């Protein structure tokens, strides 16, 4: 079974024994939990689209290991064409969910671990790449969703992992046995962990010798003994408990982040992809971050498409669509959104082959891509709110709209153009609210800032990759400067 259907994916998650906590309670049935379910639906979409003939070219590809058809989310990029198709697939998934569909972190970690283990083995004579190939084949064959887990809690940001007052603030190896290792620690803000079959753990910073025990990469099932998760709150999350799809704004889809704790978890030898090779932690971080910064040039653009569309619909329902300033604002939103897409495509087109044979994006351009993502979605959201009007945050609830006495009053006074029922107008405004201020704002706005690394992380990479010396030499040559 190289491709699961969406329904099979849901059933496969139902069989897992995930330890999930939310609002101080253990969630016994996460799959049907009304707060969690929309995020599961977003991941399900990555399976559903792969079944649709019109999307199969983007959503599926051929495994370079087995030659079987696989979901692109489990693929190792074999060309710059593959890198571009990845971004196009993410834009499509963003358009179909208007949320974070979570599965990219696994794909990005697969590709980063693939090339890094190869180079590590070459230097250290280890056999991590072989371990990883076997694991990858398992994920491809079973069409698994994998959470790529990088971000440690980090404690005092001024101190290295080994120097923290609490040694568990970075995930580490606490015991080495003949059959494997025991790990302890946590990974924070884990996108999609509650909807993942597996978790693929990587270090979060470059390390030195003293951090050896923290330089660890491995994969375990997300319901392995000793693992538990605590779900993060989202703005307006409890609206999902009220039973009003209108008030939620995006009734079917969402994203989800959680803290995952590794409370002395056993990792068998064949699932270890780094253990102590601190000199490769930086490479793994840089590559995973690079791939995920490329990813944002796809997913956020797809969600942006929905937000732009929603703004245009809101303007139509208001009777303002023909106003020149509205048209201009929509043009500006499209311009910004497509600029982000250009970045995603550009860093893919300029990708290069690694020693292991897979393709890596152009790291400078991927970091420029993400740096723009920390800004443009905010401006797109600002313009969306401008077009939507204040009613986006002052509109009454669906219950009021449907109330026999109050409803007709609201229908009358919140009417826009005569032929659009007020309730339809409210739906589009709630969607804009969801994307800019509600639970999807985690995935569109704030994640644009901090997901795949906060802005300063990209600026460090831009400084490193920007080749300022070459630019200085160019200027000196033009100006005939000889010192």
> Nearest approach, Cβ of 106 to ligand SF4 (angstroms)?
9
Catalytic residue among 47, 198, 236, 257: 257
- Per CB under 6 A, 102 contacts ligand SF4: yes
Q: Return the residue of 451, 453, 458, 461 that touches Fe ion, per CB under 5 A.
A: 451
183 binds, among Fe ion, ligand SF4, none (CB under 5 to 8 A by kind): none
In which region does residue 226 sit, left (phi positive, over 0), alpha (psi from -120 to 50) or beta (all else)? left
Nearer to ligand SF4, 246 or 256 (CB): 256
> Nearest approach, Cβ of 443 to ligand SF4 (angstroms)?
6
In the window 440-459, what residues touch ligand SF4 (CB under 6 A)? Answer: 447, 451
Nearer to ligand SF4, 429 or 435 (CB): 435
Q: Is 292 a known active-site residue?
A: yes
> Nearest approach, Cβ of 135 to ligand SF4 (angstroms)?
20
Nearer to ligand SF4, 262 or 444 (CB): 444
The DSSP secondary-structure symbol of 420 reads: S
φ, ψ (nearest 5 deg) of residue 129: -65, -40
Residue carrying the six token digits 């072989």: 130
Residue carrying the six token digits 């090779």: 277
In the window 180-219, what residues touch ligand SF4 (CB under 6 A)? Answer: 191
**Separation of alpha carbons 135 and 272, rounded Å:** 10
Query: How many Å is the Cα radius of gyration of the chain?
Result: 23
Give the residue from 427, 393, 428, 398 showing the smallest Cα distance to 410: 398
Contacts of 162 (CB under 8 A, 6+ apart): 210, 211, 213, 214
Q: Return the residue of 43, 100, 112, 333 that touches ligand SF4, per CB under 6 A.
A: 100
Q: Is 120 a known active-site residue?
A: no
Cβ–Cβ under 8 Å, residues 417 and 316 = yes
**Separation of alpha carbons 241 and 389, rounded Å:** 27
- Per CB under 5 A, 148 contacts Fe ion: no
x/- mask, ligand SF4, residues 271-310, rule CB under 6 A, reads ------------------------xx--x-----------
Stretch that binds ligand SF4, among 8-16, 101-109, 134-142, 325-333 (CB under 6 A): 101-109
Give me the half-sphere count of Cα atoms (radius 13 Å) on the Cβ side of residue 437: 14
Q: Is 91 helix (H, G, I), strand (E, B) or coil?
A: helix
Catalytic residue numbers read 100, 104, 191, 257, 292, 296, 299, 447
């Amino acid at each position: 079974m190289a491709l699961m259907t969406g329904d099979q994916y849901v059933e496969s998650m139902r069989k897992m024994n995930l330890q999930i906590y939310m609002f101080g309670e253990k969630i016994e049935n996460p799959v049907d939990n009304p707060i969690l379910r929309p995020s599961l639906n977003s991941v399900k979409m990555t399976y559903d689209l792969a079944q649709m003939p019109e999307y199969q070219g983007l959503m599926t590809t051929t495994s370079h290991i087995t030659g079987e058809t696989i979901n692109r989310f489990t693929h190792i990029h074999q060309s710059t064409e593959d890198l571009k198709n990845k971004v196009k697939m993410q834009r499509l998934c963003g358009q179909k969910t208007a949320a974070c569909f979570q599965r990219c972190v696994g794909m990005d970690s697969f590709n980063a671990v693939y090339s890094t283990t190869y180079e590590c083995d070459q230097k250290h004579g280890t056999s991590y790449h072989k371990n990883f190939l076997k694991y990858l084949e398992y994920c491809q064959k079973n069409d698994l969703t994998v959470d790529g887990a990088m971000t440690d809690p980090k404690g005092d940001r001024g101190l290295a992992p080994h120097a923290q007052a609490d040694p568990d603030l970075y995930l580490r190896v606490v015991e080495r046995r003949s059959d494997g290792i025991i790990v302890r620690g946590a990974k924070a803000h884990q996108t999609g962990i509650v909807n993942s079959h597996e978790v693929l753990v990587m270090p979060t910073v470059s390390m030195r010798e003293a951090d050896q025990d923290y330089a660890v990469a491995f994969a375990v099932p997300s319901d392995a003994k000793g693992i538990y998760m605590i779900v993060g709150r989202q703005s307006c999350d409890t609206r999902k408990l009220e039973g009003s799809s209108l008030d939620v704004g995006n009734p079917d889809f969402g994203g989800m982040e959680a803290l995952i704790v590794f409370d002395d978890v056993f990792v068998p030898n064949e699932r270890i992809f780094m253990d102590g090779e601190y000199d490769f932690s930086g490479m793994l971080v840089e590559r995973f971050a690079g791939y995920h910064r490329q990813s944002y040039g796809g997913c956020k653009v797809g969600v942006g498409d929905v937000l732009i569309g929603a703004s245009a619909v809101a303007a139509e329902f208001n009777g303002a669509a023909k106003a020149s300033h509205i048209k201009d604002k929509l043009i500006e939103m499209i311009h910004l959104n497509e600029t982000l897409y250009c970045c995603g495509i550009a860093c893919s087109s300029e990708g290069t082959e690694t020693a292991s044979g897979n393709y890596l994006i152009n790291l400078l351009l991927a970091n420029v891509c993400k740096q723009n993502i920390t800004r443009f979605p905010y401006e797109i959201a600002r313009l969306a709110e401008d077009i939507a009007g204040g009613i986006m945050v002052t509109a009454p609830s669906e219950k009021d709209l449907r109330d026999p006495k109050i409803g007709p009053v609201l229908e009358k006074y919140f009417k826009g153009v005569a032929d659009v029922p007020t309730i339809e107008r409210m739906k589009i405004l709630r969607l804009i609210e969801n994307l800019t201020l509600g639970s999807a704002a985690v995935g569109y706005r704030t994640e644009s800032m901090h997901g795949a690394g906060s802005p300063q992380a990209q600026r460090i990479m831009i400084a490193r990759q920007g080749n300022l010396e070459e630019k200085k030499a160019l200027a000196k040559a033009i100006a005939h400067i000889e010192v």
